[in-house]
Every structure is written in structure tokens, then in C-alpha cells.
């Protein structure tokens, strides 16, 4: 299975290949259209398909020289043709108000403003030829972006490539926005967007019901590839779960790795009251009806109550300008719109 470009890519890279043969879980091997019948999809707030740019469009002041997460220093002399190599980085550029300068997208950039841009990835790997054909003056990459040969080819062609640390939690929202804004020569806009994003996240956190602290397990599912994984301490979902007033069931049960193949024993030990999944992953196993057929799921409190929280793949672990919407969706589905479950 090819490496994903978002935070989940880094967490799963060493696990997915093994899980294809190591897991013996059941469930559908093909995605079910629509994810099952109308009773199989969880209700709750969804994340808007559009990003919300800052009210005032900033004007880049270049050139700038900034640190890159790969240890290099990158000089950006122009930012008229930008290629972000992840959906999360695309969101930041567009939300800063510079989306009209973006000339391509990664497959994970699915929000409306970016949807018609040409895709420069094959599967989830960067195509150096596709990137260079668009004559970019700046490429923004995650530390999980690759393959390395493709990135080296882009740099060898004289295109500046800035690496940004992959997102791991809520604390990364501000630093990632700042890194992109600084590279684009709009540091003040970066501070404004960071402030707006963090204030909105805190506002959602303030509305989280107190007292229940449900146990939530993050499951990564790809039924078509027979991949069924439970997230542990380093899955990337922990801070989101905790911000929703819940306990990361995988981490609390002693799963120290990022992801572990699902077993009945692991699920029983985790004992989740609710299960967090990506929407396409849920569809790939046949919706909630298919999910509860995976060995062990039906025996958990979450499976018995069919308490499933589903968020779009492209935004769940982005930790960027739309994270407040992600958190709001998780809270609404976890506790019910009125805060009572």
C-alpha cells in the first residue's frame, strides 16, 4: 500500500505492508457504495468542503530565507506558482488568502477551492515530472512526503522545496501555519490565522460536555486492502480525542506504537465506548453494519451501542485552519447535538 501524504502516512508507513498479511480480520474486502443503508451512517456535524480565507488578502514580501524541517535553509524569491504536496498545506495557503497562486494539488486536497487543480501525485507518491511541468517557484512538502528521489529531482531542477513538520496534534496548528506563512513572506497573516484558528478551537473545547469522559478508539480501516488497525499512543488522533473530553482508548490500554493490527483481544482491552474512523474507511468496510462484523468490534461497548464517529479523511488529522470544525464534528457525534448521549 502506497504511503499517504498526511500525518497518517508517517504513522502507518512501517505498519501497512505488514498488516496486509498479518491481520486475519473479517469484513468486506470492497468498499460498499454509500457505506450501507441510511441507518448505517452516523449523524453529526460535518466539516465544510470550503476553507475560509482571511478577510484581508496579504501581499508577500520576498525574498526570504527560512528554516526547513529537513535541516536545510531555503530561500524563497517568488511565490507566484506554489505546489503544496499535502491537503493540509494546501488548506493553509488558501486560508492565508493566497490560493490563487496554487497551481497543483495532492490527492488529499479535496476542498472546493482546490478541487479543479491538476493532481501531481500518483497514488500517494509525488510525481516529479508532473510538478516540474507546472514550472513552480515554490514546493511545500511534509516531512512524510516522498519518494525521496522525486523530491531530490525537484530540487535539482532549481525549485525551492520547503519541508514542514508533519502534524501530530493540536499543538502543531500554530507552528505549521507560521512555517508556511513565513516562507510565503506573509508572517503577519500567519500570526492572524494562527490566532483565529486557536481561538476557534478553544471555543469548541469550551462547549464540550463535562463528566462523561468516554473511551474512544481510533481505527484505520481499508477494507479493499484488508487493513484493519487500531491507533495507539502515536497515532496522531490522541490530542483530538482528548480535546473532545474523551480518553484515547488505544493509548490507555497500553498500545505504545502508532498503529497495531486489530485483534479481538486488543479491542476487548481497549473497551472503547465509541469508535473514531475516517469516512472512506468506514465506507470501505460496508458502513457501520460492516464495521461491527470485524472480529471484536461487536463485543465492545461502542459496537454494542453502534456509537461511531466518522470524519472526512482529508481533514481528520490535518491540524490546521479547519481543525475547529473537525473537533466540533467529533463532539457533536460523540455526545449528540444537544450534548446528551
Could you report the per-residue pLDDT of 242-279, keeping only the tens digit for each? 999 999 999 999 998 999 999 999 999 999 999 999 99
What does the DSSP 8-state code read for residue 101? G
At residue 337, the pLDDT reads 62
**CA nearest to 198, candidates 164, 215, 175:** 175
Going by pLDDT thresholds of 50, 70 and 90, the confidence category of residue 19 is very low
Other beta carbons within 10 angstroms of residue 135's beta carbon come to 12
At residue 210, the pLDDT reads 86
What is the pTM for the complete model shown?
0.85
Can you point out the beta strands (E) in 35-154?
Answer: 64-67, 73-76, 82-84, 121-122, 125-126, 138-142
What CA dihedral angle connects 282, 225, 300 and 310, to 10 degrees? Answer: -20
139, pLDDT greater than 80: yes
**CA nearest to 248, candidates 268, 267, 228, 232:** 232
The overall average pLDDT reported for the chain is 87
Note the pLDDT tens digit of each residue in 111-121.
Answer: 999 999 999 98
Query: What are the residue ranges of helices labelled H in the chain?
Result: 7-12, 16-22, 87-93, 128-133, 148-156, 173-183, 187-206, 238-243, 249-252, 264-270, 279-284, 287-291, 301-305, 323-335
* Phi, then psi, of 202 in degrees rounded to 5: -65, -35
1, pLDDT greater than 50: no
The DSSP string of 119-132 is B-EETTEE-HHHHH
Note the pLDDT tens digit of each residue in 37-77.
Answer: 333 344 445 787 899 999 999 999 999 999 999 999 999 99
Going by pLDDT thresholds of 50, 70 and 90, the confidence category of residue 27 is very low
Nearest-angstrom CA–CA distance, 211 and 67: 43
**CA nearest to 271, candidates 244, 222, 305:** 305
Amino acid at each position: 500500500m502506497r504511503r499517504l501524504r498526511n500525518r497518517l502516512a508517517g504513522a502507518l508507513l512501517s505498519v501497512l505492508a505488514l498488516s496486509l498479511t498479518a491481520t486475519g480480520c473479517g469484513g468486506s474486502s470492497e468498499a460498499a457504495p454509500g457505506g450501507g443503508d441510511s441507518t448505517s451512517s452516523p449523524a453529526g456535524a460535518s466539516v465544510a468542503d470550503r476553507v475560509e480565507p482571511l478577510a484581508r488578502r496579504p501581499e508577500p514580501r520576498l525574498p526570504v530565507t527560512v528554516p526547513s524541517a529537513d535541516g536545510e535553509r531555503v530561500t524563497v524569491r517568488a511565490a507566484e506558482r506554489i505546489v503544496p504536496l499535502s491537503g493540509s498545506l494546501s488548506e493553509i495557503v488558501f486560508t492565508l488568502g493566497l490560493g490563487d497562486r496554487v497551481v497543483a494539488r495532492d490527492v488529499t486536497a479535496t476542498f472546493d477551492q482546490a478541487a479543479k487543480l491538476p493532481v501531481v501525485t500518483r497514488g500517494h507518491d509525488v510525481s516529479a515530472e508532473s510538478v516540474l511541468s507546472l514550472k513552480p517557484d515554490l514546493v511545500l512538502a511534509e516531512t512524510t512526503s516522498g519518494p525521496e528521489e522525486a523530491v531530490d529531482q525537484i530540487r535539482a531542477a532549481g525549485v525551492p522545496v520547503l519541508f514542514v513538520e508533519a502534524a501530530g496534534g493540536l499543538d502543531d496548528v500554530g507552528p505549521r501555519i507560521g512555517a508556511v506563512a513565513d516562507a510565503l513572506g506573509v508572517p503577519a497573516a500567519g500570526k492572524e490565522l494562527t490566532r483565529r484558528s486557536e481561538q476557534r478551537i478553544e471555543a469548541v473545547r469550551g462547549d464540550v460536555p463535562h463528566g462523561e469522559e468516554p473511551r474512544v478508539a481510533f481505527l484505520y480501516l481499508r477494507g479493499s486492502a484488508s487493513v484493519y488497525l487500531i491507533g495507539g499512543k502515536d497515532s496522531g488522533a490522541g490530542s483530538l480525542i482528548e480535546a473532545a473530553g474523551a480518553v484515547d482508548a488505544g493509548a490507555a490500554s497500553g498500545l505504545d506504537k502508532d498503529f497495531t493490527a486489530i485483534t479481538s483481544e486488543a479491542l476487548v482491552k481497549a473497551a472503547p465506548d465509541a469508535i473514531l474512523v475516517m469516512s472512506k474507511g468506514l465506507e470501505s468496510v460496508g458502513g457501520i453494519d460492516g464495521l461491527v462484523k470485524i472480529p471484536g468490534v461487536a463485543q465492545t461497548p461502542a459496537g454494542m451501542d453502534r456509537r461511531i464517529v466518522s470524519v472526512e479523511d482529508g481533514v481528520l488529522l490535518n491540524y490546521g485552519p479547519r481543525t475547529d470544525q473537525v473537533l466540533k464534528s467529533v463532539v457533536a457525534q460523540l455526545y449528540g447535538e444537544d450534548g446528551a448521549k
